[in-house]
Amino acid sequence: MSLKERIMNFAHELGFDLFGVAPAKLLPEAEHYPAWLENGYAGEMEYLHRQLPARMDPQKILPDAAAVIVVGIIYNTNAPTTDMIDDPRRGWISRYAWGDDYHEVIQERLQKLDGFIKEQVGDQYRSRYYTDTGPVLDRVFAYHAGIGWYGKNTNLINQQLGSWFFIGEIITNVLLEFDQPPPDRCGSCRACLDACPTGAFVAPYVLDAQRCISYLTIELRGSTPEELRPQMGKHVFGCDICQDVCPWNREAVTMQDAAFAPRPENVAPDLAELASLNSETFRQRFKNSPVKRAKLNGLLRNTLIAMGNSGRVEFLPVVDKFLVEHEDTIIREHAEWALRRLQEANAQTVKEAHVC
């Protein structure tokens, strides 16, 4: 059995569903990345600019890098019930954040996989491993490792498994047999492009993060652009729309990994409960959860937008309390917006009742 096969088998034992190897060099798809940054599509994510040299060249991470081992693990689970999804009193957390923080889970397994390879290779082995935590163009290497092709929504899509999977990589000085990138199977489909409510795709395969709901609810630290708030609906952390509508996900397999099993309180969370969180309850509520990345004020800001979009007049006292009492000017500004939205919705309901 070859070294690559032994590594792959151990990766599967650790719970990884996908495995492949790509060359550790500048790859053609990476050449579009500087222009993407120059166009301002990264928004406030300044670290992407700082990390540009390393992201373009894995040799800057590991000088004698020869290969990039890429692994993937499914996080797809059964969707919540329709009544939960349709309930305007509930928000939406992206399904990748329903369970434990994938950074911690995958990092621990990558460490074990890395240790196994070192045992196989010996003291000459050198490596670095990451899962969305380092200056690596993860998807470029995953594509060349045969993990999946670039969908028009910029997510990787695997023909058998769909797109609901995390990826991680080990950059190593060990030369392994490379895999081949899969063909693009999106064809003429543009379901993801047409479904995006904020128009985040400036072209097929090109995402303007500044308009992406995931960026707006997670990465953005300041005020949410007012013109985009109505289109954000009930999203309080992340967005799944472009993956939900993808035909390759219609029969996507569900995972068996307990680490990513949904926490009931994270699936279609109650907006009033989210609005009641303080620093301590936020830390407890989202311990070991990806949601903590949004920070408390970010989540409250998003919750106020979702409340404003809900049309539910019972949220008026909650929103008004934020407007009067909260010390953060951005939170108060979003509360004022939500209050106006709810008052307008209430006025429209009263008007329609009189007409009837």
> Which sequence positions are flagged as catalytic?
132
Q: Is 124 helix (H, G, I), strand (E, B) or coil?
A: coil
- Work out the angle between the directed axes of helices 295-310 and 329-355 (0-180°, nearest 10): 10
Are the C-beta atoms of 149 and 184 separated by less than 8 Å?
A: yes
Are the C-beta atoms of 179 and 57 separated by less than 8 Å?
A: no
Are the C-beta atoms of 139 and 150 separated by less than 8 Å?
A: yes
Tokens of 345: 């919705």
Tokens of 81: 């019930």
Q: Give the burial class of 219: count Cβ atoms within 10 A of its Cβ; 0-12 exposed, 13-18 middle, 19 or more buried.
A: middle
Tokens of 120: 């196989």
Q: How far apart are CA 296 and CA 282, in angstroms?
A: 6
- In 3D space, the residue among 22, 60, 39 whose CA is nearest the CA of residue 144 turns out to be 22
Q: CA–CA distance from 166 to each of 31, 70, 76, 130 (Å)?
A: 23, 10, 10, 12
Strand 92-93 and strand 235-237: the pairing is parallel
Are the C-beta atoms of 328 and 299 separated by less than 8 Å?
A: no
